[in-house]
Amino acid sequence: MYVERSGQHGTFTTDYIDRRAAVRLPTDPAVHDGLFEQTKAYYKADDLFAASDKLDISEETFRRIVKQLERFDLSKTGDDIKGLAFEKFLGTTFRGELGQFFTPRPVVEFMVDLLNPREGERICDPASGSGGFLIRAFEHVRAQIVADIQRQKDEERARIEALGLPEEEEERQIEEAFSRLNRELLPSDDNNKPIDTRVGRLAWQCIYGTDAEPRAARTAKMNMIMHGDGHGGIHYHDGLLDINGIFGGRFDVVLTNPPFGSNVGRDQKVGGSDETRVPKDEAYLARCREGGYGPAWEESHQSLLAAAAARKPILDLFEIGKGKKNRPTELIFVERCLNLLKPGGRMGIVLPDGNLNNPSLAWLRRWAEGKAKLLAVVSLPEATFRSSNATVKASLVFLRKFTEAEAAQWEAAWAQAHAELDARFDQQRDEAHAAYAPRIVCGDDAEVQRLLDELAALGIQRTLLRWQHGEAPAYPRQARPTVQNKPAWTGEAAKEHKEHKKAAAELKKQADAALAAVRKRSDALFSELKAKYKAIDEAHTAALWARVRERFDYPVFVAAPKSVGITSTGETGEGVANDLPELLKAYREFAHWLAQGAQPEATPNFPGPSTA
């Protein structure tokens, strides 16, 4: 690729290697080492290679490789062909070492095509692995641009041909128009630098990704280069932290397959490792500021500098992680992806099925429900990731982050639900309190009650004060918990009647002794009341959610394809069953139905094996 892009086409031949070797002094580096050093220098700004990297290959082996490849002209080979060749190489070479970084190509294509990124939209994968999602997204948008360029070419040809020009002039004008339009398809300039073309803006301003594994990040960069570029936004960095142009509220589309089976713990600090570093060098700062990221980037960078200085746990950067000992990595990535999106942005994420149906994770589903609309859930067959030695059953989850209007509607739905329901459940709490308070105060004991009545006549009462609303947790949304204090003495005997005061003191002493004897019974009744309150709180919460969902109801596309284009041994291709193309058609029909108002009488019929 370096030879192709630098224009030094004669250097990747056995003839060149033999000629250079013939005049090389014993102290000179091997020819392939010299070429590799030039390649490292060419891609220096991209962090593709470390300064100490060397080619672990003999001169004889390198010559044999060149002999096999020199007949191919990569400058005339389509990016899709080069990309497929590199993916094939990856699949056979790194599958054992980097298997966890591969999402099967048919699944990647389906997810990208469903979210349908468009020209001008920014796309991010915060756990990019070998770059599959970003490559497919790049290809998807580039295909749109190519189709539009072809449309413009056809229009230009028709316009020029209609002028009735002499044949040579007509050909010249058509060639000139085509040349101008074709320039829009260039991803970089001759020096591998950004270029202001339609594909150039896609490659350098719209594709971003990170991975915390350095080899995976490097592989993703190379993969992007082989597919036609877009590598400039790929970084070796923890995907949970902002870096370069990757920060909150910036992206239209986020696609990712986050790590499963690990945890983010409190020992993982901002700036505590190479992948969580916060760059401070002038070159990085200048590059970000020249990139036009604006005040949002400045705010993000300053916040991370402060977090690194304070050795802040990464968990504390997230609403669902703050104050926790640990959280499963994939859960934190759900919040990370939503944070990265603009209002109205779309995301697709691969998640273990337990995130969707485990009762212990109902809080996560409710939390996400208040942040985004669920577009679709596609349950994958168990064999989908088996070739990567993954045994977790997974699903594809597609969400659209609330727009500002939808967020306001969500809050309004909650306010309305509280207005309609709170009084009813408060009455239930009052009724429970009224039923239990007298019994708790006296421990269901007649003698204690007699003593308490006598004390009340003297102005001293033992009462169970009315319950209060406590503070609800930060998430998920729920009714404020009922808080009930234990019985307490209130009031005092009249000071002007010394005999009353003395009698009251004696009665209180007797009452305290009697209460001690019935404390177990009183405590048991108090526990019963708290259980009643808890049941009322849970019913209140359930009623609130039901009412909100009535007001914020919408259809969700759900499917369970039997085959997704990959076998348990990792085989893909035309001979492998794949229900995803038909499923994509069904989703588009569903999305069209939604856009038309989702009228029940027009509900689409989804026949076939792909639907659940």
Indicate the average pLDDT of the chain.
87
Per-residue pLDDT of 429-481, as tens digits, reads: 999 999 999 999 999 999 999 999 999 988 899 999 999 999 999 899 999 99
Quote the pTM value: 0.85
Give the C-alpha distances (Å, rounded to integers) separating 440 from 165, 461, 484.
Answer: 103, 14, 12
In this prediction, residues 183-205 reach a mean pLDDT of 89
Question: Residue 356: what pLDDT?
Answer: 85
Question: Residue 10: what pLDDT?
Answer: 57
pLDDT of 169 over the 50 cut: yes
Query: For residue 317, which of 350, 271, 258, 260 has the smallest C-alpha distance?
Result: 271
Least confident of 141-155, 290-304, 344-358, 565-579: 565-579
In this prediction, residues 121-148 reach a mean pLDDT of 93
Query: For residue 523, which of 463, 429, 439 has the smallest C-alpha distance?
Result: 439
Per-residue pLDDT of 519-530, as tens digits, reads: 999 999 999 999
Least confident of 26-40, 56-70, 219-233: 219-233
pLDDT of 612 over the 50 cut: no
Question: Residue 98: what pLDDT?
Answer: 42
Give the C-alpha distances (Å, rounded to integers) separating 25 from 11, 21, 29, 31, 541.
Answer: 19, 8, 8, 11, 81
Q: Tokens in use for 217?
A: 């990040």
80 against 318, higher pLDDT: 318
pLDDT level of residue 99 (50, 70, 90 thresholds): very low
Q: Tokens in use for 154?
A: 């056809």
Dihedral of alpha carbons 120, 151, 583, 571, sign: negative
Alpha-carbon distance of 323 to 20, in angstroms, equals: 63
Give the C-alpha distances (Å, rounded to integers) separating 528 from 515, 523, 525, 534.
Answer: 18, 9, 5, 10
User: What SS3 class is residue 295?
Assistant: helix
- Alpha carbon 112 to its chain centroid, in Å, reads 14
Question: Residue 159: what pLDDT?
Answer: 96
pLDDT level of residue 301 (50, 70, 90 thresholds): very high
Question: Residue 312: what pLDDT?
Answer: 97
Question: Residue 55: what pLDDT?
Answer: 77
Per-residue pLDDT of 350-385, as tens digits, reads: 999 988 888 999 999 999 999 999 999 999 998 888
Alpha-carbon distance of 122 to 208, in angstroms, equals: 8
pLDDT of 219 over the 80 cut: no
In this prediction, residues 268-279 reach a mean pLDDT of 94
Question: Residue 610: what pLDDT?
Answer: 41
CB atoms within 10 A of CB 252: 19
CB atoms within 10 A of CB 267: 11
pLDDT of 25 over the 80 cut: no
Residues 6+ apart with CB under 8 A from 215: 97, 98
Query: For residue 12, which of 54, 60, 73 has the smallest C-alpha distance?
Result: 73
Least confident of 69-83, 163-177, 452-466: 69-83
Alpha-carbon distance of 363 to 357, in angstroms, equals: 11
Question: Residue 35: what pLDDT?
Answer: 79
In the chain, what is the straight-line distance between the N-terminal and C-terminal CA atoms, in Å?
45
Least confident of 80-84, 246-250, 482-486: 80-84
Question: Residue 90: what pLDDT?
Answer: 55
Question: Residue 408: what pLDDT?
Answer: 96
Residue with token string 């348990």: 568
Give the C-alpha distances (Å, rounded to integers) separating 284 from 205, 442, 535, 569.
Answer: 16, 72, 56, 43
pLDDT level of residue 342 (50, 70, 90 thresholds): very high
pLDDT level of residue 541 (50, 70, 90 thresholds): very high
Question: Residue 262: what pLDDT?
Answer: 87
pLDDT of 142 over the 90 cut: yes
Question: Residue 571: what pLDDT?
Answer: 83
Give the C-alpha distances (Å, rounded to integers) separating 193 from 162, 187, 222, 301, 558.
Answer: 39, 9, 16, 25, 44
